[in-house]
Structure 1
Amino acid sequence: MLPVLDLRGRPLSLRDLRGALPRAEFDVEAALSAVAPICDDVRLRGSQALLDAAERFDRVRPSSLRVPAAVLSRALTELDPAVRRALEESIRRARLVHADQRRSDKVTVVASGGTVTERWVPVDRVGLYVPGGLAVYPSSVVMNVVPAQIAGVGSLAVASPPQVDHDGWPHPTILAACALLGVDEVYAMGGAQAIAGFAHGFEGCDPVTLVTGPGNIYVAAAKRLLKGLIGIDAEAGPTEIAILADATADAGHVAADLISQAEHDPLAASVLVTDSVELAGAVGSELASRVVATKHVERVTSALTGRQSAVVLVDDLDAGLAVVNAYAAEHLEIQTADAAAVAARVRNAGAVFVGPWSPVSLGDYCAGSNHVLPTGGSAVHSSGLSVQSFLRGIHVVDYSEAALREVGAHVVTLARSEDLPGHGDAVIARLPELG
């Protein structure tokens, strides 16, 4: 079922690997022309444009954009008790992990009487996007809200698409997750128009300074278009799993994990990297029996047979590491002998899952880690969502007269060397003897 890419006996330069490894086609640039007029309309017409867009794209016109408190409360009251307990445990574990990410201010004494303090200040207001589409993602509420709250963001708003089957409100499980987390500013808006609504603001909703959360190609395009007016976490593409496995791996585990990501989206990428032809064959047999039994068989089949998915055969584990580091997967599983040691050699991945008992689905819900992760190879330079995503470092410079006098001549010298004498003059105005 999975296409096979045989890299055995071939040079594995980074350039060659980037050209050879499978990727989903996800042309954000092409989507810009579609989202630009939508975003402009929201900027000009505010809430009316958002309601019109909901009617056009979501096939329902909400009675209001903001979800009433009574609707949020009812969603939590009617939530399945087992789902509530699972969400509460997910929240508890996420808070444990993210609490350890909070940075403290650091004062560096550069000279007697001269200090530089790095202050960590949360952004003022955040718009958190939770997608609708093919699945329901209350877990994404948890993953966005928890780090923002721990960072100390004072104003949080959540947007999720209105649903025809739920009276024009977002899915009730998403609303219940918001209520569990104490978020009461929730909007029934989705897609590019939601990002524009957050960026420009509209009647009753102040503009935000940062937007986070995954979405489809139109959400990614709107983020790209509006970046600068707002900060963004990333332009999320289709989800990815890569599994580095050797002959010790359990073929059933590997197949199940490949399917778990494939059920997200027909464009989801499932990649197995192995030096064991026998394992590759066994995984193929497991997939053949498991895919037909899964609920979303058509979606899974499309993902597994698409150009973005493959079995990649390599000569040995070192070659496999070169491949997964070049691929830089959103999610990377290590299912090898001495998996922890192998995982320690991984440099590029959104999150690494070590050994047979750490499937990606654990991280999706209850590991405590964050599942909003870099996709499309961007893990080579970007990190997943964290408390740090919502903080800004501000340097506070505090020098006494004596401390400035000690270094002032160097400032004047460097200013003149850059042909910026006014910079030096600002020091000479305070210390005329340096002129």
Structure 2
Amino acid sequence: MKKYINPSASELETLLKRPTPGLNELEPLVEQVFNEVAQKGDEALLKYTELFDGVTPDTWQVSPKEMEEAGKKVPEDLKEAIRTAAANIEKFHLAQKTDSVRVETMPGVVCWQEKKPIEKIGLYIPGGTAPLFSTVLMLAIPARAAGCREIVICTPPGKDQSVNPVILFAATLCGVKKVFKVGGIQAIAAMTFGTGTIPAVYKIFGPGNQFVTVAKQWATRYQVAIDMPAGPSELMVAADKTAQPEYVAADLLSQAEHGKDSQVILVSTSNEFCEQVEQEITKQIEKLPRKEIASAAIENSRMVVVENTRMMIDVINSYGPEHLIISSADEEDICRAVINAGSVFLGNYTPESAGDYASGTNHTLPTNGYSRQYSGVNLDSFTKSVTYQKLDATGIKNLGVTIEKMAEAEGLFAHKNAVSIRLRDLENQE
């Protein structure tokens, strides 16, 4: 990791840039796949699954028998761990339910708001070298809690046409019955348009590689919503000399092993502490099965030494990390001052892994600085708010003149007339 001591504002802006390549060059391929899936449906899915994944599926949907058999392949201790995580995730997300809001804004004028589930949800679950079965829990559990009527999972098949059994066990645990063996751009396109086999959805959730990222953004051109813009995973650790160097090194490496384009940042008020963390990284990285990936990510990563806590807070809010660990004697002050972060982890005993798997919070979070304006996935991500209003005779009398004046000032006389005609009718009745 490259280290910077008390960088200037301009230096800080440069060194905190994400290692994200431009994705515009991927758009022609994404457009091509989308167009073919829109026109040819399952036929196009077969073409691109053979081309990109080297697999020719006999069927797209995972059968009930495959779902049942998958559960038998998962070790009991892992099943129990998944059940524990699922219970915590469900408990936290159910607690986010809110009552409808009802207000009489003036006599005779009542306004209220209710949350309604998004009917059709699509979940993209990556496979490959790190099949993210935990993402099934993070997305399907709040979707079910919100009352979404249809939940569809797309996940890439292996060379033997199978889906990772732990993904299928998690899907069954969450009550998801529609799981399809398709990944990449073609999966996002299938959920966007629908095919002969895979249904179209209204909103798509889930992480993925750069092709999936661009495909999700492309899907928004076709009236399909997505959870958030996404990019490579990232972690910032804000620590002082009260933190444990070996813990911090382990946290940084836990995020670095996600992918070569991941980025981890350590911000500290102690240069000596940074040196200790660096020594621990060198020691711990040698024992990692994904050492090559983590090493590449560490090359994209930074250590920043600042003079005081105030500067540390400024760095955090400027960067807007996906994950933020605060391990400092001033953790409460820092926590209160942080406004740009996807999810925050406090203290020496709160690894980022807790949120990734089992504490209960959601691990689908804004990356690439989008925590400045986006929230992580939560129960509201699967709902939409509908507003209502009801005016009785008293209400239209009280509010009518206000509406007439405003409509006339905007030159919208039909709007004014919609009120005036009611007021005249009430006046005649009197």
TM-score, with normalisation over the residues of structure 2?
0.96
Aligned partner (choices 190, 193, 197) of residue 200 of structure 1: 193
Gaps of 5+ in 2: none
The letter for the 2-side match of 1:386 is N
Deviation at 1:17, TM superposition (A): 4.3
Structure 1 residue matching 2:337: 3-state secondary structure: coil
Establish whether residue 363 from structure 1 lines up as the match of residue 364 from structure 2.
Answer: no
Does residue 87 in structure 1 map to residue 82 in structure 2? Answer: yes
From 320, 326, 345, give the equivalent of 1:353: 345
CA contact (8 A) 2:16 2:319 kept: yes
**Residue from 234, 237, 240 that aligns with 2:234:** 240
Indicate whether 1:314 and 2:306 are aligned.
yes
Query: Residue 408 of structure 1 aligns with which residue?
Result: 400
Count of residue pairs the alignment pairs up: 425
CA distance in 1, matches of 2:142, 2:21: 28
Indicate the residue corresponding to 1:373 in structure 2.
Answer: 365
1:262 to 240, 256, 267: 256
Aligned to 2:335: 343
C-alpha contact (below 8 Å) 1:134/1:264 kept by paired residues: no
Structure 1 unmatched runs, 5+: none
- Once the 2 structures are TM-superposed, how far is the Cα of residue 98 of structure 1 from its aligned partner? 0.3
Distance 2:106 2:392 in 1: 10
Aligned position for 1:31: 26
Runs of 4+ in 1 over 3 A off after TM superposition: 15-20
Q: Which residue of 2 aligns with 1:162?
A: 157
Give the % identical residues.
Answer: 31
Closer, same or farther: CA 16–111 of 1 in aligned 2, 3 Å: farther
3-state SS in 1 of match to 2:38: helix
- Separation in structure 1 between the aligned mates of residue 13 and residue 210 of structure 2, nearest angstrom: 22
User: 2:326, 2:335 within 8 Å by CA — same for their partners in 1?
Assistant: yes
Residue equivalent to 1:105: 100
- Partner Cα separation in structure 2 for residue 358 and residue 117 of structure 1: 40
**Equivalent residue of 1:344, what SS?**
helix
Query: Quick one: distance in 1 between partners of 2:359 and 2:149?
Result: 26
| CA deviation map 1:42-77 (0-9, x unaligned) | 111111111221111111111111111110111012
Where does 1:10-409 land on structure 2 (aligned, <5 Å)?
Answer: 10=8, 12=9, 17-164=12-159, 167-228=160-221, 229-306=223-300, 309-409=301-401
What is the CA-CA distance between 1:294 and the residue it aligns to?
Answer: 1.2
CA RMSD of aligned residues (A): 1.4
In structure 2, what is the Cα distance between the partners aligned to 1:357 and 1:375?
24
Question: Aligned to 1:183, what secondary structure does the other structure show?
Answer: coil
Q: Please tell me whether the aligned partners of residues 22 and 310 of structure 1 are also in contact (alpha carbons under 8 angstroms).
A: no
One-letter amino acid of the structure 2 residue matched with residue 42 of structure 1: V
Q: Could you tell me whether the CA contact under 8 Å between 2:107 and 2:398 is conserved in 1?
A: no
Q: Give the residue type in structure 2 aligned to 1:270.
A: V
Q: Do the aligned partners of 1:26 and 1:237 also contact (CA within 8 Å) in 2? A: no
The CA deviation string for residues 145-204 of structure 1, in whole angstroms up to 9 with x for no partner, is 01111111011011111111xx31321111111011111100111111111100100113
CA distance in 1, matches of 2:299, 2:83: 37
Letter of the structure 1 residue corresponding to residue 258 of structure 2: H
How far apart, CA to CA, are the structure 1 residues paired with 2:417 and 2:194?
Answer: 44
The one-letter amino acid paired with 2:319 is: Y
Higher mean displacement: 274-283 or 203-212: 203-212
Determine the C-alpha separation between the residues in 1 that align with 2:227 and 2:200. 17
Kindly provide the CA deviation profile for residues 328-357 of structure 1, in whole angstroms up to 9, marking residues without a partner as x. 111000011142332222111000000000
Any idea what the Cα deviations from partners look like across 1:365-420, whole Å, max 9, x if unmatched?
11110000000000000011111001111111111122111110111100011111
**Does the aligned pair in 1 maintain the 2:190–2:199 contact within 8 Å?**
no
**Segment drifting more, 102-111 vs 327-336:** 102-111
CA contact (8 A) 1:415 1:421 kept: yes
The answer on whether the counterparts of 2:60 and 2:197 sit within 8 Å (CA) in structure 1 is no
Aligned mates of 1:406, 1:330 — CA distance in 2: 49
| Structure 1 residues 134 and 26, CA gap change in structure 2 (3 angstroms) | farther
Deviation at 1:29, TM superposition (A): 2.7
User: 1:26/1:235 Cα in 2 relative to 1: closer, same or farther (>3 Å)?
Assistant: farther
Work out the CA distance in 1 between the residues paired with 2:422 and 2:52: 62
Q: 1:342 to 1:118 in 2, by over 3 A?
A: same
For residues 238-277 of structure 1, the C-alpha deviation after alignment (integer angstroms, 9 at most, x for no partner) is: 0001000111111101111110011110001111011111
Contact 1:364 1:371 in 2 (8 A): yes
TM-fit CA distance, 1:421: 1.3
Q: Contact (CA 8 Å) 2:20, 2:232: kept in 1 or not?
A: no
Matching residue of 1:6: 5
Amino acid of the structure 2 residue aligned with 1:383 = S
Q: Decide which moves more: 334-343 or 237-246.
A: 334-343
Amino acid of the residue matched to residue 191 of structure 2? F
Q: What's the CA shift string for 1:82-107, capped at 9, x where partnerless?
A: 11011100100000100011222111
Give the residue type in structure 2 aligned to 1:389: S
